[in-house]
A and B are shown apart, each in its own frame.
Chain A
């Protein structure tokens, strides 16, 4: 038995040590690594009926990836313009949602972290309560508001801003509001955690030297809060790009989210390998984007989840 294993069992005892090791291995290998590898492998296989899986026809192929780029074989277009556009639009929209969220949440995170008093606890509670409520119901609530005869249209038409109700859903406004809404907490918390540890004297000192508020934030607070900001942005970006419920409920009919394509491949077309390939593309692209941004802003993986 290798030394570190022996030490490990000495430290934890054999029974407890085995249970712990078993759970960790099951989680990391059985639930995280193998399923992802399995999905990757699956995405390179043809869509076969169950009896033929593992049979002679079950050969590796790039077909599923080709489909995303070039569309169905013998299709009228040289590129799969529809799916590629959805993909591209999803990423861009997720970036915008992330930026919107950051701008919305940074001030509140700063305020919560740097203000003292009892009302802060109340505000924090009010912040958390919406997130104890089902994601679907949150989207549903927004749909009541943005619906054609929803509250917002009633108000706007009543005030005479519009003559006819505005279709917030078809114009994707409901979707963006919903995605923004869904991940507010994930943006606020990391930023809050970092700013809370910022010594107030630093800000006082900067103010003392006559720096304006925007300047203090730009030069003192934001550089300090960078790990929190990038952690929040990473999570919000990944989750918005991977969102499914909000686009399904709030999305306009003509604008699909990439996850909806994956969903359709799985549930409507029953083409699992194709869906797996799309999922791999989504995962890899998102990870590459996040890694690139993390390198750009010089933050570590260790900052995520703090």
Chain B
């Protein structure tokens, strides 16, 4: 027994660790979206601000990226679901001897590195383009076309897997029954097979859109004139990070949670409705007076969904009227005071030293202490990052404080520490 409860504790500790690894980064990133410092950080907390959201909405490139992502996503969803469905249907009727080979071919794109898919797409369509004697800016080498084609190559495989799983439960007799009752093949497909596949097609479409939306490896070779949101984000992240990106991430997290909850609530509701129908009498069904359960009754996901929705509305409402200016000003003031204090101390000390030196060596004229000798120690790489850390400010030498007034509010420099290109020079 003791062993058993020990194991239980072990399991819970493991679960906690696992999910903090999984969710922790997202939570911290979300928090940084509301903190006022220019470098995304959760602690120390300075001021609640919504300015990173407005910065985000004013960023032309991000907005353009979103537009391109949606364009590419629409194309990819259409093409991959169509190809995935055709591929899945073909798998159920292909000649048995060919089946293994065929399956290997259509599953391979999942395993081929995205980079390789991007390159092969680029190289191949460039060649096709030249074969047709088209210009370099033709439709075939257009970034939109190439990206959709490249992404669909492997996203169609994901769709195929989702669709095949459902197709295996399809009774081909249904199609035959429809034909037998006079339907054409197209009618049987549209009225019988397609409605049956609809849930799987919806999942495949969502999956395809998400995969397309987040794809980087393939798109980075094919995007051309159509940088998607992911490409823009990657550029930004590589050349310096700001909380505006956290704000975007936060929005996506919230949307995701909404979608997940809505999906859960939908599933639960369907179950409830089915149960209600089962126990309904003929008359109730006939008259359409069947009393269906309320949307919120015995549906935890729906309740949470509504709560989260109300919270969101409240937050957005607050954001509209809330101004962090006072707080930011206060913090700045406080920092300035602290810094001033330190500068004063320093000046005083220097003045004392100078006075002593003056006294000792009268021939040397008294030098005004300047900030010029206060460049950070070359070896101290961390100096930039720690500027805002009050703890660091206190112990970390007396050289730094002068930096602070010199760059108030300008944080772009700090991000450059992480710029891989700056460091890749070796």
A residues with CB within 8 A of B = 4, 8, 11-17, 19-21, 23-24, 26-28, 31-36, 38-39, 42, 50, 53-54, 104, 107-108, 111, 121, 123, 125-130, 132-145, 147-151, 154, 158, 164-165, 167, 169, 181, 184, 213, 234-235, 238-239, 241-245, 248-249, 251, 253-254, 256, 259, 262-263, 266, 272, 275-276, 279, 282-283, 286-287, 290, 301-302, 304-305
Contacts and interface: CB of A to CB of B under 8 A. Distances in A.
B180 interface: no
Given A27-B87, A249-B237, A38 B113 contact: no
Contacts of A235: 110-111
Query: Max chain B CB contacts within 10 Å: which of A19, A32, A138, A249?
Result: A32
* Majority secondary structure, B binding face: helix
Contacts of A125: 260, 264
Q: Which 8 A-B pairs have the closest CB atoms?
A: A242-B113, A13-B185, A253-B423, A149-B385, A141-B25, A35-B120, A23-B86, A35-B124
A130 B22 contact: yes
B215 to A, nearest CB: 8
Contacts of A16: 185-186, 189
B167 interface: no
A235 B114 CA distance: 12
Nearest to B11: A111
Interface string B16-54: 001101111110110010000001111100000000000
Contact of B113 (A27, A238, A272): A238
A133 B249 contact: yes
A276 B119 contact: yes
A248 B186 contact: no
B23 A282 contact: no
A240 B288 CA distance: 55
A108 B124 contact: no
Given A244-B114, A262-B115, A15 B234 contact: no
Contact of A137 (B28, B249, B414, B426): B249
5 contacts: A24-B86, A104-B18, A136-B234, A148-B382, A181-B22
Contacts of B152: 27, 31
Given A135-B230, A301-B103, A279 B382 contact: no
B252 A282 contact: no
Contact of A38 (B103, B124, B234): B124
Residue with the greatest number of chain A CB neighbours at <10 A, chosen from B21, B119, B233, B417:
B119
B28 A42 contact: no
Interface stretch (B55-63, B196-204, B216-224, B319-327): B216-224
A145 B230 contact: no
Interface stretch (B238-246, B354-362, B399-407): B238-246
Interface string B167-201: 00000000000000000111001000000000000
A129 B256 contact: yes
Contacts of B234: 136, 245, 248-249
Contacts of A147: 385, 418
Best-surrounded residue of A17, A34, A305 (most CB of chain B within 10 A): A305
